[in-house]
Structure 1
Amino acid sequence: MRIPEYLPQTNQTGEIISITTAAADVDPNHSLTIYSDSKTTIDGLTRNRQRWEDNGFAGVANAKELRTTIATLRRRNTPTTLKWVKGHSGLEGNDKADALAKKGSEKAEQDEVDLLIPPNLCVTGAKLNSTTQTRAYKTIRQIKMSKKQYQKAIDRRNTKINTGRAKSVVKEIMGSEPSNKILWRSLRHKDFSRKFRYFIWMVAHEGYKTGNYWQNISNFENRANCHPCGVPESMDHILTECQCPGQQQIWELTKEICTKKGIEWNEPSLGMILGAGVIKPNKREGKPSDGDARFLRIVTSESTHLIWKLRCERVIQGRNSPSPEEVTRKWKKSIEARIGLDRLMVTAQFRKRSLSKGLVERTWRSVISDEDNLPEDWTGEAGVLVGRRSGQG
């Protein structure tokens, strides 16, 4: 079978459709045993089924296909057994299934998949006695996002261009292109501050009013161009090209601290910024750790947002451009604030959201001031960046 393009093109989709087909084709009065190498699918149809139904399948991948499979299994009059087998282990049936799946993917025409559920077997909504405000919100959002009107509204040309640029840069740096799902999820990476998550989402959708937007706004036409540079203002120009004090200096400071960390620096671009949550660092020596990747995400996001903040202060609030010393001070303050936040997040009071001391130490290793003289657990000390101490300089 060749899975139609309107369904998610994943292995799990193929497993779910295969189970549905088997359950529908076999006489419902005969017992049936299905062998599958997908633990996720089997657990979804057995162990997690009741909980997912109670929550209205909120946030569950392949929810529509799983609902159909569950309804198909319920129509059977005799037991259906699902058994897990290890994939690619020489098992004859599993190898034949893989061969048929490959043959199906090479078919010229797509197969039609019937996902209709009989009304008497259709379980809709979520149970009120098992839902929470968060789950209810996710369910409502999921319903809203599934509507054609919503999908049409987010199908913007500029958004596609920006995500395409991000995927191209990630492929150039890492050798492989991320999927749209991975890229959009990375914009909400937990290492980004809340203000940056909002900012980068707006940038991806061209949501900020810059450049040509102001051409048709009476008395605000002067905002369309970057006056020091004499060119139309765009997010590309603001973040990576503008000659106003701040932009180039902040990226130089970021490059300097990455070099101190031993991380190879990539020249900033809008695609690189949009893909910051996916890009993994390269090190001059050895392999990068999880702390190195986290460090790169933090300094890239904090530097980007500071450039935007300085631009807004200059263009919208009418402030004078900051001096080089003031730019450096603001940049160091933003990075030091993240170190302070990490030190707080190590404490147990944050529970599931807390950070391990090891991860925090790996993140800021080689950039903490006077690191050699700090105690082994420096997270309780006042060490800060690039040779400075709190209250000094």
Structure 2
Amino acid sequence: MAEATTLRKKHEDQGYILQKESALSKAIVAELRQRRGHTAFQWVKGHQGHDLNELADELAGKAAEKSRGNRVSTKVPDRLVVTGARLDAMTQALAYKAIRQRRDAATDPRPRTVKTVKYVLSDLKTDFGADLHERTLWTSLRKKDLITKEARQWMWMVLHDAYWIGNKWLEASMPADLQDRAFCTHCNSLEDMTHILFACEEPGREIVWDLLTEHWQNAGGPLIAPTWGSVLGAACVPIVDDEGARKTTLERRWTILATESAHLIWKLRCERVIGRENEPFSEIEVRNRWYATLDRRLDLERRYAALTEGRKRAKRLHAVEAIWAPLIQDDEDLPPNWVEKCGVLVGICRTPYDRLGQG
């Protein structure tokens, strides 16, 4: 209730620009102001047998099981509407945020974006029973500890269908000698992101997905097929045990492996088309690139955890070990503090085929 009590004045002074659920907060404050008597709140410690607190937990659990939330009116009476922000509370960053919000509200969604997001949300619901709001998908891309900046930018572009591939080369304004770029030279079919990630016959794509599946399952993960939902919505994939409890470590591991693998497929495709005149990569080249990608990501995770200070340090070190240890070569021989000791050489466990290829 801080938004309606201790933080109320701050939010009102800033015009609720930085608040995520501003409409709900405004409605709650308006209801409080309409009360004739004095209203006070008392904090109650959770899970201590308090009847009303236990009832609130029960109602929250029932609400979480609903596929769609109840409609809640957030209309505020005209006489209680507080508009705008105070000039003495305004900053350049706050003003920029307000401008972006107004522009976003006035901009109609791009049809291609709507179509792509629909694919992702549909797959998540069909494959995992996750009935998610579009906003949840966009928010999941901001998980900086799971998705690198480079992969996050690529996923954002894919969701907006912003890459110049496929039928974009067939537009009337495009010269005839460039229109052949719309087609995949290996499959002789129109090239779009679905084709590149999930259908192309160029062997590099299948090798990457096979490596992902093999290492994911060897590390204790359930079988997950690469789809729009499980890849572009990787950070939204729910993985639960037999009792319905979330397995957060597995969820985080899947997000890292899936996003890095998908982004690698795109990079290999671009290198092949632009720099190799469509000459495919060899199997050993693709495998080495996949291992190198994961090894770099592991090294980045270890260094970031080792540099973390304060109370978050131990939590971060533990998270890195839990996520990566099952994927590491000879993990049983590693010292207890291998995560923070970056001088200890570690790498992703290679299959017998890859070890033979290295030799």
Query: Could you say what the CA RMSD is over the residues aligned between the two structures, in angstroms?
Result: 3.5
TM-score, normalisation: structure 1: 0.72
Correspondence 1:199 to 2:160: no
Residue in 2 that maps onto 1:177: 131
Larger Rg: 1
Paired residues for 1:141-160 under 5 Å? 141-147=100-106, 150=107, 152=108, 154=109, 156-160=110-114
Contact 2:328 2:347 in 1 (8 A): yes
Residue in 2 that maps onto 1:296: 254
- For residue 272 of structure 1, report the CA deviation from its aligned partner: 2.4
- For residue 239 of structure 1, report the CA deviation from its aligned partner: 0.4
Residue in 2 that maps onto 1:261: 219
Residue in 2 that maps onto 1:340: 299
Residue in 2 that maps onto 1:189: 143
**2:324 and 2:234 mapped to 1: Cα distance?**
18
Contact 2:198 2:226 in 1 (8 A): yes
SS in 2 for 1:375: coil
- Shifted more, 355-364 versus 343-352: the winner is 343-352
Contact 2:328 2:346 in 1 (8 A): yes
Q: Which runs of 5+ in 1 are unaligned?
A: 1-41, 103-109
SS in 1 for 2:39: strand
**2:347 and 2:113 mapped to 1: Cα distance?**
38
Distance 1:188 1:136, change over 3 A: same
Residue in 2 that maps onto 1:242: 200
**2:90 and 2:18 mapped to 1: Cα distance?**
15
Contact 2:213 2:223 in 1 (8 A): yes
SS in 2 for 1:115: coil
- For residue 289 of structure 1, report the CA deviation from its aligned partner: 3.8
- Which residue identity does 1:124 align to in structure 2? G
**2:128 and 2:86 mapped to 1: Cα distance?**
41
**1:243 and 1:227 mapped to 2: Cα distance?**
10
Correspondence 1:374 to 2:334: yes
SS in 2 for 1:231: coil
Contact 1:262 1:283 in 2 (8 A): no
Percent identity, aligned pairs only, is 29
Paired residues for 1:121-140 under 5 Å? 122-125=82-85, 127-128=87-88, 131=91, 133=93, 135-140=94-99
Residue in 1 that maps onto 2:274: 316
Alpha-carbon displacement from aligned partner over 1:118-143 (angstroms, at most 9, x marks no partner): 59x7352255567473x444333223
Residue in 2 that maps onto 1:385: 348
Higher helix share goes to which structure? 2
Distance 1:274 1:184, change over 3 A: same
**2:14 and 2:217 mapped to 1: Cα distance?**
48
Residue in 2 that maps onto 1:230: 188
Correspondence 1:277 to 2:235: yes
TM-score, normalisation: structure 2: 0.78
**1:113 and 1:254 mapped to 2: Cα distance?**
46
Contact 1:254 1:303 in 2 (8 A): yes
Contact 2:124 2:131 in 1 (8 A): yes
**2:74 and 2:251 mapped to 1: Cα distance?**
42
Contact 1:276 1:300 in 2 (8 A): yes
SS in 1 for 2:224: coil
- Which residue identity does 1:371 align to in structure 2? D
Contact 1:162 1:271 in 2 (8 A): no
Count of paired positions: 327
- For residue 183 of structure 1, report the CA deviation from its aligned partner: 1.8
